[in-house]
Structure formats: C-alpha cells, structure tokens
C-alpha cells in the first residue's frame, strides 16, 4: 500500500510538470544583434547552406524565422532589416515582434513539436534513461539483500557504488567528450550498462560488485550528452522548448517507474530487478538509434 501511495504522489508531481510545459513558450529566446548579423553577412558566412532547398533565396529575415531546418543557426535572430542590407523579412514568415524591430521565432505547440522528426524518439529515450537510473539506484540495496543474500549493511554500501560510479564517470566523461561527440558518448554509456547488467546477472559477489560500479559509469554520460546535443539536433530555435519537454519526460520516468518496480517486486520478487532494467536499456537504445537515423536522413537531405 505504501508503494501505491508513493507512486500516486510522484505521478501527480509528474503530471504537474507536464502541464506546466506551456510556460516554456512564454520565455524569450536569445537574439542576435544587428551588428553581429552584419558581421556574419560581411564575412560571407551564408546561412543558406544550412537551409533546405528552395529556402536559400528568401533573405536574412526569412532565414531567422524559418522553423523547417534543424541547423543550430536557425535559432539565431538577425537584426532589423534596416541594419543589414537586403535583410528584409519575408512576408508571411511568421514570428512576433518585441517592439524594437527585432523578430522572435514563431512559437510552436506541443503537437507541432512532436511532429518534428526525431522528437518522439528523444523523449522516449530520455524517459527510459531516467526510469533506468532511478530504479537502479533506489532498488540496488534491496536486490542485494533479498535476492542475493547479502547482509543489509554491506548491501547499503554497495548500492552507494552506483552513485559513486555516476560521479566519477561524469568527471571522466567531461574529458572524453573533448574527443568524442554526444552521439557516441551516449552509445558508450549504453554499452557499459549492457556489460554491467551481464555482471549483475552472473553468480558471485565480485561480479555483482563490479556490475554496480559499471552501472553508474554507464549512466554517467547519457543524461548530460542528451541535453547538450539538443541544439545541434533540433536547432537553437527549438532547444528551449524541447529541453523543457525532455525534462518533463525525465521526471515522469524517474518518478513513476521506480515505484512501479516496487509493486512488481511485491508480487514476483526482487529477482526481477536486472530484467526490469534490461527493458529500459532496450527501449533507450532502440529509441536512440531511431533518433540517430532521423538525424542522418535530414543531414543527407540537406547535403
């Protein structure tokens, strides 16, 4: 009964976070000054190269307001038309004005955001990761005690290894990310998690000990890399709103799925722990690869 009450409270919090998503659309996105836009135009850096075919001739105003491309430069708002020669805004391009002659990107509803290729995949991937991390950390000691017969004091200290693995792993990941892109950092984390789950499933305390450490190390790069990759994947214009949606799905995953395992454990036993985690690893990996495929298709279409 206690798990059901706790789960109900956490699901309620997750719903509040989800319903608060419209507040993100009231936030103003960073704007690029007219002077900077003029410098970019004078330097010959043509934003047309980042736009889909058929949009390259619309001028700087249309480039700033276009929402059909995921290139990071799309989100930068160029200066007023009078500051950049030939930068008159295209009629019907959309967007709003802040009263100072500068244009803001058009706002999108959640339904419109979900129709963007790759958005559903990244939300599912983030949901699965957060559910994995919360369940893994919250139930590690219980699994060690009830399923593997380890005394409670030792099990509690071993459960802390998961969080130590995350802490150390994120410190190391910061240096690795200087040479490895976000996509491969996420894949590296998923590979480490797969190895860790094999260790947890193996008999013997040594394998379990190593598995808990590796679980934390595998989780370390996934969360920050997913957030960091959002502007590059979907454009700075959409990054703010999509980050809010990702955080909402992360909270839903962590707040709802961990108590749900407690319900399953009451009926089936805590031996289910590693297999429950495997489900989220598979979901995270499949959704992540679908997202990568969507990004490759868009890159080929833009080339």
Distances (CA, A) of 96 to 57, 86, 103, 168, 212: 22, 20, 6, 45, 51
Confidence (pTM): 0.67
C-alpha 200/C-alpha 278 separation (Å) is: 11
Helices (H), the chain: 2-19, 34-43, 60-65, 110-114, 119-142, 152-176, 182-201, 205-219, 222-234, 236-268, 273-302
Q: What is the pLDDT along the chain (303 residues), one digit of tens a residue?
A: 545 555 566 677 667 766 766 665 555 544 444 444 445 444 444 444 443 333 333 443 333 333 444 434 433 333 333 333 333 333 334 444 444 444 445 577 888 888 999 999 999 999 999 999 999 999 999 999 999 999 998 998 888 889 999 999 999 998 999 999 999 999 999 999 999 999 999 998 999 999 999 999 999 999 999 999 999 999 888 888 899 899 999 999 999 999 999 999 999 999 999 999 999 999 999 999 999 999 999 888 887
Task: Give me the pLDDT at residue 101, please.
Answer: 46
Look at the domain 113-302 and name its fold: Growth Hormone; Chain: A; (1.20.1250)
Contact of 116 with 238, CB cutoff 8 Å:
yes
Task: Give me the pLDDT at residue 253, please.
Answer: 92
| Residue 281 three-state SS | helix
Residues forming CATH 1.20.1250.20 domain(s) in the chain = 113-302
């Amino acid at each position: 009964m206690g798990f059901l009450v706790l789960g109900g409270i956490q699901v309620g919090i997750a719903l509040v976070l989800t319903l608060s998503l419209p507040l993100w659309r009231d936030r103003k996105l960073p704007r690029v000054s007219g002077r900077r836009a003029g410098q970019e135009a004078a330097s010959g850096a043509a934003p047309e190269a980042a736009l889909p075919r058929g949009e390259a001739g619309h001028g700087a105003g249309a480039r700033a307001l276009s929402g059909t491309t995921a290139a990071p430069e799309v989100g930068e708002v160029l200066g007023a038309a009078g500051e950049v020669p030939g930068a008159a805004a295209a009629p019907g391009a959309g967007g709003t004005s802040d009263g100072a002659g500068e244009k803001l990107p058009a706002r999108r509803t959640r339904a419109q955001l979900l129709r963007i290729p790759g958005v559903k995949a990244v939300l599912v991937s983030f949901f699965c990761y957060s559910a994995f991390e919360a369940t893994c950390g919250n139930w590690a000691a219980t699994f060690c005690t009830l399923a593997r017969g380890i005394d409670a004091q030792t099990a509690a200290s071993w459960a802390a290894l998961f969080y130590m693995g995350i802490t150390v792993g994120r410190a190391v990941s910061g240096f690795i990310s200087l040479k490895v892109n976000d996509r491969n950092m996420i894949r590296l984390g998923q590979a480490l998690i797969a190895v860790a789950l094999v260790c947890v499933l193996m008999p013997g305390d040594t394998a379990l000990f190593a598995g808990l450490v590796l679980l934390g190390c595998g989780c370390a790069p996934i969360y920050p890399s997913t957030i960091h990759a959002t502007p590059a994947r979907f454009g700075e214009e959409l990054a703010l709103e999509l980050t809010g949606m990702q955080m909402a799905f992360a909270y839903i995953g962590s707040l709802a799925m961990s108590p749900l395992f407690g319900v399953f454990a009451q009926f089936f036993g805590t031996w289910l722990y590693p297999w429950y985690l495997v489900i989220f690893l598979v979901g995270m990996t499949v959704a992540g690869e679908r997202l990568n495929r969507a990004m490759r298709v868009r890159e080929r279409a833009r080339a």
